[in-house]
């Protein structure tokens, strides 16, 4: 996708992600986004470290990155690419993406400190301001979680 200045969006570094999402520490679940193909697909990256605050309680002595936070990372990846692409055509846009549904969620393997989670997002459909995405979380080529995520783009209140 090309912006008004002819730019093509292929990746979002952390400063770009922060510009697209309202999430902040400790709830930002992506470090960057690569392989962006407009609003069709992208890969979000989350480097899981032992320093994550969640590991104090999940679980002491056997840290496991919570599946619900993996789902959140998938949704944040989809939301960030939608907002970033909306802003290519209108830099004054300040819309926010809200999660509507999580369907067909399955957790295959745990993610642990040292893992590099890849959130593979692919658009299923989009009608006006509602979109649906197929999402898969992969570590070292292995599927760890999957879901279908529905979201809505709204103007902030």
Output the six-digit token pair for 137. 């979380």
| Phi-psi group of 83: left, alpha or beta (phi > 0 → left; psi -120 to 50 → alpha; rest → beta) | alpha
Active-site hit among 23, 58, 108, 132: 58
Our answer to whether residue 23 is catalytic in this structure is: no
For the four alpha carbons of 59, 14, 96 and 148, in that order, the dihedral sign comes to negative
DSSP E strands in 85-154: the ranges are 96-107, 116-127, 130-139, 142-154
Q: Which residues are catalytic?
A: 58
């Amino acid at each position: 996708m090309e912006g008004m200045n002819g730019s093509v969006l292929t990746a979002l570094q952390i400063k770009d992600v922060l510009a697209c999402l309202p999430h902040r520490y400790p709830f930002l679940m992506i470090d960057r986004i690569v392989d962006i193909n407009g609003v069709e697909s992208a890969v979000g990256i989350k480097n899981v470290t032992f320093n994550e605050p969640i590991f104090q309680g999940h679980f002491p002595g056997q840290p496991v990155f919570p599946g619900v936070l993996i789902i959140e990372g998938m949704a944040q990846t989809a939301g960030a690419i939608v907002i970033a692409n909306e802003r290519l055509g209108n830099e004054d846009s300040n819309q926010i993406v809200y999660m509507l549904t999580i369907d067909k969620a399955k957790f295959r393997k745990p993610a642990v400190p040292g893992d590099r989670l890849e959130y593979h997002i692919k658009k299923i459909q989009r009608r006006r301001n509602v979109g649906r995405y197929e999402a898969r979380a992969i570590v070292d080529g292995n599927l760890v979680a999957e879901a279908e995520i529905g979201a809505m783009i709204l103007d902030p209140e």
